[in-house]
Chain A
Amino acid sequence: MPRRPRRHQRLKSWPITFSPFGRALARMGSVSKPKRHSESIENHTPSSSNGFVKHPLDEKPEGSESSDGEFDGVVQADFAFFDPKPNDFHGVKTLLQTYLDVEEWDLSGFVDLILEQTTVGTVVKVEDDEDEGIFALATALNLSRYREQKCIIQLKDLFLAKASQEKGVADQLRVLLGEQAHNVGLLVSQRVVNLPPQLLPPLYDSLFNEVSWATEDEPTEELRNSFRFKHYVMLSKIYKHKNPEQKRKRSDDSEEAIVYVKPEDEIFHKLSSWSFCFPLRTQQPAPHEMKNYRSMGLIMAVEADKIPTFRQELGSLINES
Chain B
Amino acid sequence: MATRLQFENNCDIGVFSKLTNAYCMVAIGGSESFYSVFESELSGVIPVVKTSIAGTRIVGRLCAGNKNGLLLPHTTTDQELQHLRNSLPDQVVVQRIEEKLSALGNCIACNDHVALTHTDLDRETEEIIADVLGVEVFRQTIAGNILVGSFCSLSNRGGLVHPHTSIEDLDELSTLLQVPLVAGTVNRGSEVIAAGMIVNDWTAFCGSDTTATELSVIESVFKLRDSQPSVIVDEMRKSLIDSYV
Chain A residues near B (Cβ < 8 Å):
89-90, 97, 102-105, 107-108
Closest residue of A by beta carbon distance from B7: A104
B6 touches A97 (CB 8 A): no
- Determine chain A's interface SS by DSSP, over half rule: loop
A97 touches B9 (CB 8 A): yes
A104 touches B9 (CB 8 A): yes
- Give every chain B residue within 8 A of A107 (Cβ-Cβ): 9
Q: Within the assembled complex, what's the spacing in Å between the Cα atoms of A108 and B10? A: 10
Q: Within the assembled complex, what's the spacing in Å between the Cα atoms of A1 and B54? A: 58
Q: Within the assembled complex, what's the spacing in Å between the Cα atoms of A103 and B6? A: 12
Closest residue of A by beta carbon distance from B31: A104
Q: Could you list some 21 contacts between A and B, CB below 8 A? A: A89-B188, A89-B189, A90-B188, A90-B189, A90-B190, A97-B9, A97-B10, A102-B8, A102-B9, A103-B9, A104-B6, A104-B8, A104-B9, A104-B31, A104-B33, A105-B9, A107-B9, A108-B11, A108-B188, A108-B208, A108-B209
Q: Within the assembled complex, what's the spacing in Å between the Cα atoms of A90 and B10? A: 11
Question: How many Å from the CB of A247 to the closest CB on chain B?
Answer: 34
Closest residue of B by beta carbon distance from A111: B209
The CB with the most chain B CB atoms within 10 A, among A97, A103, A105, A107, is that of: A107
Q: Within the assembled complex, what's the spacing in Å between the Cα atoms of A97 and B10? A: 8
- Nearest 7 A-B pairs (CB), nearest first? A107-B9, A108-B209, A102-B8, A104-B9, A104-B31, A97-B9, A89-B188
- Give every chain B residue within 8 A of A108 (Cβ-Cβ): 11, 188, 208-209
Question: How many Å from the CB of B10 to the closest CB on chain A?
Answer: 7
- Give every chain B residue within 8 A of A105 (Cβ-Cβ): 9
Q: Within the assembled complex, what's the spacing in Å between the Cα atoms of A105 and B31? A: 12
The CB with the most chain A CB atoms within 10 A, among B6, B9, B31, B189, is that of: B9
- Give every chain A residue within 8 A of B10 (Cβ-Cβ): 97
Q: Within the assembled complex, what's the spacing in Å between the Cα atoms of A243 and B190? A: 45
- Give every chain A residue within 8 A of B33 (Cβ-Cβ): 104
Question: How many Å from the CB of A44 to the closest CB on chain B?
Answer: 33
- Give every chain A residue within 8 A of B31 (Cβ-Cβ): 104
- Mark contacts of B160-187 with chain A using CB atoms, 8 A cut-off: 1 yes-contact digit, 0 otherwise: 0000000000000000000000000000
- Give every chain B residue within 8 A of A89 (Cβ-Cβ): 188-189
Q: Within the assembled complex, what's the spacing in Å between the Cα atoms of A103 and B31? A: 10
Closest residue of A by beta carbon distance from B188: A89
- Mark contacts of B132-170 with chain A using CB atoms, 8 A cut-off: 1 yes-contact digit, 0 otherwise: 000000000000000000000000000000000000000
Question: How many Å from the CB of B16 to the closest CB on chain A?
Answer: 14
Question: How many Å from the CB of B187 to the closest CB on chain A?
Answer: 9
- Give every chain A residue within 8 A of B6 (Cβ-Cβ): 104
- Give every chain A residue within 8 A of B11 (Cβ-Cβ): 108
Q: Within the assembled complex, what's the spacing in Å between the Cα atoms of A89 and B189? A: 10
Closest residue of A by beta carbon distance from B33: A104
Closest residue of A by beta carbon distance from B187: A90
Q: Within the assembled complex, what's the spacing in Å between the Cα atoms of A107 and B9? A: 7
- Give every chain B residue within 8 A of A97 (Cβ-Cβ): 9-10
Question: How many Å from the CB of A254 to the closest CB on chain B?
Answer: 35
Q: Within the assembled complex, what's the spacing in Å between the Cα atoms of A104 and B6? A: 9
- Give every chain A residue within 8 A of B190 (Cβ-Cβ): 90
Q: Within the assembled complex, what's the spacing in Å between the Cα atoms of A105 and B6? A: 10
- Give every chain B residue within 8 A of A103 (Cβ-Cβ): 9
Q: Within the assembled complex, what's the spacing in Å between the Cα atoms of A261 and B26? A: 34
Within B95-116, the residues touching A (CB, 8 Å) are none
Q: Within the assembled complex, what's the spacing in Å between the Cα atoms of A97 and B12? A: 13
Q: Within the assembled complex, what's the spacing in Å between the Cα atoms of A89 and B185? A: 15
Beyond the given pairs A90-B190, A104-B9, 10 more chain A to chain B contacts, judged by CB atoms under 8 angstroms and listed by A's residue number, are A89-B188, A97-B9, A97-B10, A103-B9, A104-B31, A104-B33, A107-B9, A108-B188, A108-B208, A108-B209
Question: How many Å from the CB of B27 to the closest CB on chain A?
Answer: 14
- Mark contacts of B30-47 with chain A using CB atoms, 8 A cut-off: 1 yes-contact digit, 0 otherwise: 010100000000000000
- Give every chain B residue within 8 A of A90 (Cβ-Cβ): 188-190
Q: Within the assembled complex, what's the spacing in Å between the Cα atoms of A300 and B209? A: 31
- Give every chain A residue within 8 A of B188 (Cβ-Cβ): 89-90, 108
Q: Within the assembled complex, what's the spacing in Å between the Cα atoms of A147 and B197? A: 32
Q: Within the assembled complex, what's the spacing in Å between the Cα atoms of A105 and B208? A: 12
Question: How many Å from the CB of A108 to the closest CB on chain B?
Answer: 5
Q: Within the assembled complex, what's the spacing in Å between the Cα atoms of A1 and B204? A: 57
